[in-house]
Amino acid sequence: MISGRQALAEITTAERGEQTAITELDTKLEDLGQQLIEIQRRRAEDLRALARLRVDLVDAGAVTGALDVAEQRVTERLAQRDQARVALAQALAAARAAQAALDQEREAAAERLEQSAARLDEAEGVLQARLAADPDYQALQARAQAAERQARHAADKAAASAEEQAAKGGPYREDMLFMYLWERGYGNPGYRAWGAVRWLDGKVAGLIGYAAAAPNYRRLLELPGRLAEHAQALADQAEAAFAALCERDEAARADAGIPALAADRDQEQAALDAVDEEITANAGQRQHLLAEEARFAAGEDEHSRQAIADLAAALADTELEALRRAALATPFPDDDVIVKRLQAADQEQRKLSFAIDGLRQTRLRHQQRLGELAELQQDFKRRRLDQSDLGFVDSAMIALSLANFLSGMLNRRDLMRVLEQQQYRQPRRADPGFGSGGFGRDSPWGSSGSRPSTRPGTRSGGRASSGGFRTGGGSRGGGFRTGGGF
């Protein structure tokens, strides 16, 4: 088994390894970039010498003058580049030093949090053991549990009755003759009708069996309300019993000095969170500086690009190209030597460019992995996987998954899934479900999630009532017939 903090340390070690690899690649890239510029300078020097030999083809003074100006500009731009590079190196060194200091600060903060949480857990465990042996506390808890069960049962019955009303009341509401008599209040003391209307209402009532159906429908309408009132009363009693148990828990915790320990734990957690915020901000700054360093190392910074562009413009002069072609056609040994050096320089430049492109791609992959590791660290901390009581069962699996992540065989989402599957929480001495914590709602012992509602009209998983009214059937067996409407 490996602890959450150890797993986070492994991720941090991998991040430092990527940073080291990037630094080594930057050194190689910078060296190759310097070699590339040096080749350009040698080419310029050879072309200058060739121009002096073949003054019959070009104006040697104009050619060498243009090359001198270009080289002067290159020298100035490279000096500016060196100054900017030094400033960048200083900023990056400061960011890395700050990272190292923050890592140490976080380790200390995590250690303080772990010790504070352990003290709180120890005190809560001792108190819970004492309360569990207290007869008065046991009786108080039993009353709260009984009230909770009764309230939930009543809420289930009220909800089932409301569902039954909706289902079984449909045939009544769909029968127009029944609803006509019901809405007129037929059979009630307040019913008013005279003559033919009263006679016709009576005929309709006899036809559909209204005298037997109306009391059933009335009970169907009234029962959910009565059950809801009863459920509400029991819910209020359950709330009162739970509040009394919470009050007893809070008083016992206060007498044991637990609120102060909890406040200390929360303070240490806040301190750790603050350090994590600084680490995240520093990581963003370092990513920006590393990207800038990559541009310098690859010769893609503004100063290097301008220097290369100045040399390329001078060397691309049409007269110089004509000079090279003419030198190749002459039998003179002096210019042949220079031309061979130019050809060798061209070949060396192509090799260097190919090597630089390969190193750039490699560095890009390391840079991407470094960014993914930074995001992985943030996910790890955001999900509190480095808590003191949390670990991972199979340390070999964690190491293999991290290696696969670094090699690109596993993405961050899949790695987090492996971590969650391997997650294991070490048993604590204190039970968050003790006392008032066993009711599925927030309590002095901690948050236990959302409490299932005990309010009427909300089902909490109980069975529907098997009772109710029968409104279907034929003209016998307790039902009623309205001419086919039911």
Give the pLDDT confidence of 163-205 residue by residue, as tens digits. 888 888 888 888 899 899 898 888 888 888 888 888 888 888 8
How does pLDDT run across 218-253, given as a tens digit for each residue? 888 888 899 999 999 999 999 999 999 999 999 999
Of residues 331 and 143, more confidence is placed in 143
Tell whether the model's pLDDT for residue 401 goes beyond 90: no
pLDDT classification of 129: cutoffs 50, 70, 90: very high
Q: What percent of the chain has pLDDT over 70?
A: 81
What is the model's pLDDT at position 66? 63
Output phi, psi for 461, to 5 deg. Answer: 100, 0
Percent share of the chain, pLDDT over 90: 20
Q: Which of 357, 404, 356 is nearest to 376 (CA)?
A: 404
Which positions ≥6 away from 250 have C-beta within 8 Å? 444
Between CA 482 and CA 328 the distance in angstroms is 115
3 pLDDT above the threshold of 60 = yes
Please tell me what DSSP assigns to residue 228: H
Interatomic CA distance for residues 393 and 98, integer angstroms = 33
- The predicted model gives 49-54 an average pLDDT of 62
CATH number of 26-130+260-368: 1.10.287
- pTM for the whole structure: 0.58
Question: Tokens representing 62?
Answer: 């104009």
How far is CA 78 from each of CA 69, 73, 82, 204, 211, rounded to the nearest angstrom? Answer: 14, 9, 6, 107, 106
pLDDT, mean of residues 294-318? 71
pLDDT at 460 over 50: no
69-83, 92-106, 462-476: least confident range: 462-476
pLDDT for res 328? 64
Residues 186 and 194: their CA atoms lie apart, in Å, by 12
Q: Which residue has the higher pLDDT, 451 or 76?
A: 76
Q: What is the pLDDT of residue 112?
A: 92
pLDDT, residue 152, reads: 94
pLDDT in tens, 419-448: 888 877 776 777 788 888 888 788 888 643
The predicted pLDDT at position 464 comes to 36
Task: For the chain, give every domain's residue range.
Answer: 26-130+260-368, 132-255
Q: What is the mean pLDDT of residues 64-86?
A: 77
DSSP state of 316: T
pLDDT in tens, 311-345: 666 655 545 556 666 666 666 677 677 777 877 88
